[in-house]
Amino acid sequence: MIFFGEQDIIAKVSVKASCDGENMDNNYYMGLALAEAQKAFDLGEVPIGAVLVIDDQVIASGHNMRENWHDSTAHAEVIVIREACQKLSRWRLTGATLYVTIEPCPMCAGALVMSRVDKLVYGSPDYKAGAVESLFNIVQHSALNHQLEVTAGVRAEECSHIMKEFFRMRRK
């Protein structure tokens, strides 16, 4: 079910066009996020994976763990932000790019803003809960003290496919 037309989505988010080198990096790191999503899938979790990168180095990676941890906040993005903050001994993740397979929800979008991540790269939109383009645009809201640069649609078909396959299997 699609709640918004393509023109509505384009109007809601300012997406940066990427150069060739950046596209290669985005594809590579999204591949790592997809590998994390597969781990979630294999555990019976909603298959969302994330990777946080600073200066071409993976600082943290993770996937959804809500079901296994019995924790409603155990989304891939939050897990990765927490891990990165611990590894770097700081809460400000300036200079960081977060790659995630699906458009972040309101909680995760807020966490990205509050942790000062510079860039967000995601695969597929989330028409039911997306807080970057589909329902809201938290990460670029002018009332907040930090806005992220956003690149959407990286390996979108693969990111969407793993979600569709997961829910198809769950409904059997």
Residues annotated as part of the active site = 77
Q: Is 70 annotated as a binding residue?
A: no
CA–CA dist 91, 97 (Å, integer): 15
Determine the 3-state secondary structure of 31 from DSSP. helix
CA–CA dist 135, 10 (Å, integer): 12
Q: Is 63 annotated as a binding residue?
A: no
Q: Are 72 and 58 in contact (CB under 8 A)?
A: no
Q: Is 75 annotated as a binding residue?
A: yes
Which residues sit in the known binding site? Answer: 75, 105, 108
Which residues sit in the known binding site for Zn(2+)? Answer: 75, 105, 108
